Amino acid sequence: MNNLNLKEIMNKPERLAPGHRMCAGCGATIGVRAVLRALHEGDYAVIGNATGCLEVSTYMYPYTAWEDSYIHNAFENAGATLSGVETAYKALKKKGKIPEDVNYKFITFGGDGGTYDIGFQSLSGAMERNHDMVYVCYDNGAYMNTGIQRSSATPMYADTTTTPVGSQSNGKMQNRKDLAAIIAEHDVPYVAQTTLTTDFKDLHRKSEKAIYTEGACFLNMMAPCPRGWQYDTSEIMKICKLAVDTCYWPLFEVDHGKWILNYEPKKKLPIEDFLREQGRFKHLFKKGNEDLLVQFQQEVDRRWENLLYRCARED
């Protein structure tokens, strides 16, 4: 695991074929391909998917971009649907209907709408029942498929179509939900927060760990959306790096209850560096809104300190 050969990993056959209809510069597609690269060759997979951009753009009848078996059911039930698939696997294996040497893995993808919000109950149920599956949330911080409405993953002060900035509004009024922590509190074997880093090692390692750890595992993967965040499509990797280096999106994992910090920037950058790149925060840089930036920084710091505390705790 420590000696990841990036070139070798990147040259593995793609399990999400090109030709799908996702936007250029979309973090979800890049992230999904990276997760699937963590599947060992020879292993089969069933991919689940909540309704969202990823689903409507990758499986449009009569074409599918998925090389593996794939099931989309509805918006709010990716957790429950894949728990049915995984249970069927157990039942059919027990009856000898699937050869013993055949190995299936179960991975489901959902956006933050399908995961943090409408699919939260279904996700919580699947995690608590500890099905042998991985739920990957590609968190782009709003309902992008329906046109950039706020979600409980949207950060405070973001400009969305249901929290528009106006003369009486500075965007979203509430902080975002800390979903990785909430799922960790389900006492599942493995939870990790990750995003697209330049070497892809963090995402690859965590995907592999989640896929090959028995039981319910959860990955919260920040996946920027060029339409919703309003950045230049070529800037995606820079934005991800700034999210990590400002500690807006820390990289950590919770392995069988143990909180582990995976990356601590040598120099924690000010949150402005991350926000400045995105059109959804441009009102924060207007004269008179300096206090909003201060508040944003305070919230990032509070969460970062909280994470450091959790990771420092000896069990």
Partner 1 sequence: MPKKDRMSGNEAVAYAIKQINPDVMPAFPITPSTEIPQMVSSYIANGEVDTEFIPVESEHSSMSAAIGAQAAGARTLTATSSAGLALMWEELLLAASNRMPLALALVNRTLSGPININCDHTDSMGARDTGWIQIYAENNQEVYDNFIQAYPIAEHKDVHLPIMICQDGFITSHAVENIELMDDDVVKEFVGEYEPEEFLLNPGKPMAVGPYAISAYAMEARKNQEIALENSKDVIWQVAKEYEKISGRKYGFFEEYRTKDADYIMLIMGSAAGTAKQAVDELREQGKKVGVLKLRVFRPFPAKEIAAALSRCKAVAIMDRCESYNGNGGPLGSEVTAALFRNKVMIEAVNYIYGLAGRDFTVENVFDIFAQLDDAVTSGTEIEQYQYIGLRK
Positions touching partner 1 (CB under 8 A) are 44, 46, 48, 55-56, 59-62, 64, 66-74, 76-77, 79-85, 87-92, 94-95, 97-99, 102, 104, 121-122, 124-125, 128-129
Say how many C-beta atoms besides its own lie within 10 A of residue 279's C-beta.
14
Query: Could you tell me the smallest distance in angstroms from the CB atom of residue 84 to partner 1?
Result: 3
Query: In the complex with partner 1, which residue's Cβ is closer, 98 or 269?
Result: 98
Site of tokens 């990716």: 78
Alpha helix ranges (H) inside 178-270: 179-184, 201-211, 226-229, 236-245
Query: In the complex with partner 1, which residue's Cβ is closer, 102 or 294?
Result: 102
Site of tokens 């990841």: 4
DSSP at 149:
B
Query: Could you tell me the smallest distance in angstroms from the CB atom of residue 130 to partner 1?
Result: 12
Query: In the complex with partner 1, which residue's Cβ is closer, 76 or 139?
Result: 76
Query: Could you tell me the smallest distance in angstroms from the CB atom of residue 184 to partner 1?
Result: 19
Instruction: Say if residues 45 and 89 touch (Cβ distance below 8 Å).
Output: no
Query: In the complex with partner 1, which residue's Cβ is closer, 69 or 174?
Result: 69
154: tokens are 């949207």
Query: Could you tell me the smallest distance in angstroms from the CB atom of residue 136 to partner 1?
Result: 17
Query: In the complex with partner 1, which residue's Cβ is closer, 6 or 88?
Result: 88
Could you tell me which residues come within 8 angstroms of residue 5 by beta carbon, excluding any fewer than 6 positions away? none
Element (H, E) at 81: helix 78-94
Query: In the complex with partner 1, which residue's Cβ is closer, 64 or 213?
Result: 64
Query: Could you tell me the smallest distance in angstroms from the CB atom of residue 39 to partner 1?
Result: 13
Query: Could you tell me the smallest distance in angstroms from the CB atom of residue 75 to partner 1?
Result: 9
**CA angle centred on 304, ends 302 and 308, rounded to 5°:** 115
Instruction: Say if residues 77 and 135 touch (Cβ distance below 8 Å).
Output: no
Classify 21 as helix, strand or coil: coil
